[in-house]
Amino acid sequence: MMRISSDTIRLAIPALSLAVLLAAVFYMQPRAMSYTGLNLLFNLAVPIALATIAQMLIMAVNDLDLSMGTFVSFSACVAATFLQSSPALGILILAGAIAAYAAIGVVIYVRELPSIVVTLGMSFVWGGLAVLLLPSPGGEAPGWARWLMTSKPPFVPMAIVVSVVLAIATHFLVMRSSFGVLIRGVGGNARSVERAGWSVVAVRAGTFALAGFFAVLSGIALVGLTTSADANIALRYTLLSIAGVILGGGEFVGGRISPVGAVIGALTLTLAGSFLSFMRISPDWQIGAQGAILIVVLALRLALNRLEKREKNR
């Protein structure tokens, strides 16, 4: 008898949500079913997917990062200023920011602090630094970032290519490698990981640094798309990234996450945004419709979950 693992089911649900939403878009706007249409729909997917992966890593070790949005904004500001004018200094600053992330991960664990509050505080810090860098919108994207994000590979738009590569790479990193096992192990039962002789502090530092790395990439990708930056450019990424992880089948505690699901969740959220502008919904109700879509997708996920459970019990 073939048994479907719970991981596969975790993945099937977000994938189906995305397919349904995509089908709805195509049904309403058949012209979207083209290279240009897809490009338009998923335009902003890459930075959101990267931020979602970063958030997912933090959630894998039972924490939550409320500074994700301001940190991506800060990275975007660095990318649009230092990284463009003096790359070496820019890289140094971003490396320092990643080190700061690792340090936060250690401090939260060693002092047993609530991650929500520490990252809440950090969101002010990153926001302040971003304002110092770019008090008003401006800066310029580094040429290579611009080239990478706007290049048009044959057949499939860049955003989708990058998303697929990202999903596969992070799947191997988090779900298949030994380090990934340790990350999820710390989320599942940190004490037993410690008893087995591992340093939980080191694992958490590594996890946070990795999250910081993906968040930095998100900022660079965002600037590559928008060509300039401002201090508030990615504030909504905090909530988007959390919603993406949840849509993708991840959970808040217990190290139950899915990188492929997270990328799909980010794509779903991007699509929801594009879908609304396609539908020409009155600006008054645009935010509300976004909320409604989030609810519909989650309801769909619940329905599928129920169905799956019934299958299992039969």
Partner 1 sequence: MNAVRLLSRKPWIWSFAATVLVWIVTVLFTGGASSVGLSQAALTFAAFSVIVGLGQMFVITLGPGNIDLSVPATMTLAGTIALKLMDVQNGMILPGLLVAVFLGVVVGIGNYGLIKILRIPPIIATLSMSFIVQSTAIWANRGLRIKPPELLASFTTSGFLGIPNVAIVAFLLSVAAWLLLEKTIYGRWISAIGQSTFAARMTGIPVDGTRFVTYVLCAVLAAICGYLLASFSGGAALNMGSEYLLMSIAVVVIGGTAVAGGDSNVPGIWGASLFMFLVVSMLNTYGFGAGVRLILTGLIIIAVILVAGGRKMIR
Partner 2 sequence: MREEVVAARGIKVRFGAVRALDGADLAIHAGECVGLVGHNGAGKSTIVNVINGGLAPHEGTVSYGGTPGHGIAAARERGVRCVFQELSLCPNLTVVENARIMHDGLAGWNWRKRAFDLIKAKLDEIFPGHGIDCDSTIDDLSIAERQMVEIAISFAGAGEGPRLVILDEPTSSLDAGLAGQLMAYVRRFVASGGSILLISHILGEILSTSDRIVVMKDGKVVADRSAGEFKIRSLVEAMGSVVREQSPKRSGAARTGPAVLSMPPRKGHGLPFEAYRGEIVGLAGLGGHGQTEALLELYLSKSGNWLPRRSRPLAFVAGDRSLNGTFPLWSILRNLSIASLGDLSRRSFVDQGREDAVGESWKKRIEIRTPDMGNRILSLSGGNQQKVLFARALATSAATVLMDDPMRGVDVGTKQEVYDILRGEAKNGRTFIWYSTEMDEISLCDRVYVFREGAIVAELSGEEISEKNVLAASFAGEGE
Which residues have C-beta within 8 Å of that of residue 199, sequence separation ≥ 6? none
- Nearest-approach distance from CB 310 to partner 2, in angstroms: 16
Nearer to partner 1, 39 or 251 (CB): 251
User: Which window, 16-24, 26-34, 111-119, 188-196, contacts partner 1 (CB under 8 A)?
Assistant: 111-119
Nearer to partner 2, 195 or 280 (CB): 195
Spell out where the chain has E strands: none
Look at the block and give the residue holding tokens 């630094």: 129
The listed partner (partner 2, partner 1, none) that binds 178, CB under 5 to 8 Å by sort, is: partner 2
Give CA–CA dist 271/311, Å, rounded: 30
Contact set for partner 1, span 293-312 (CB under 8 A): 294-295, 298-299, 302
- Nearest-approach distance from CB 194 to partner 2, in angstroms: 8
Our measurement of the distance from residue 2's CA atom to the centroid of its chain's CA atoms, rounded to an integer in Å, reads 33
Backbone angles phi, psi at 138, to 5 degrees: 170, -150
State the Rg of the chain over Cα.
20
Nearer to partner 2, 199 or 277 (CB): 199
The listed partner (partner 1, partner 2, none) that binds 196, CB under 5 to 8 Å by sort, is: partner 2
Cα separations (Å) of 219 from 54, 150, 224, 229?
12, 15, 9, 9
Cα separations (Å) of 176 from 92, 173, 182, 301?
31, 6, 11, 25
Contact set for partner 1, span 249-278 (CB under 8 A): 252-253
Rule CB under 8 A: is residue 92 a binding residue for partner 1?
A: no
Nearer to partner 2, 184 or 301 (CB): 184
The listed partner (partner 1, partner 2, none) that binds 113, CB under 5 to 8 Å by sort, is: partner 1
Give CA–CA dist 84/90, Å, rounded: 8
The listed partner (partner 1, partner 2, none) that binds 201, CB under 5 to 8 Å by sort, is: none
Give CA–CA dist 49/214, Å, rounded: 9
User: Which window, 45-53, 71-79, 162-170, 238-246, contacts partner 1 (CB under 8 A)?
Assistant: 238-246
- Nearest-approach distance from CB 254 to partner 2, in angstroms: 5
Nearer to partner 2, 140 or 308 (CB): 308
The listed partner (partner 2, partner 1, none) that binds 87, CB under 5 to 8 Å by sort, is: none
Give CA–CA dist 251/245, Å, rounded: 8
- Nearest-approach distance from CB 306 to partner 2, in angstroms: 18
Report which of 3, 9, 25, 7 is spatially closest to residue 305, judged by C-alpha positions: 9
What's the residue count for the chain?
314
Cα angle: 271, vertex 76, 260; to 5 degrees: 40
Site for partner 1, rule CB under 8 A: 66, 107, 111-114, 116-118, 120-132, 135, 239, 242-243, 246, 252-253, 284-292, 294-295, 298-299, 302
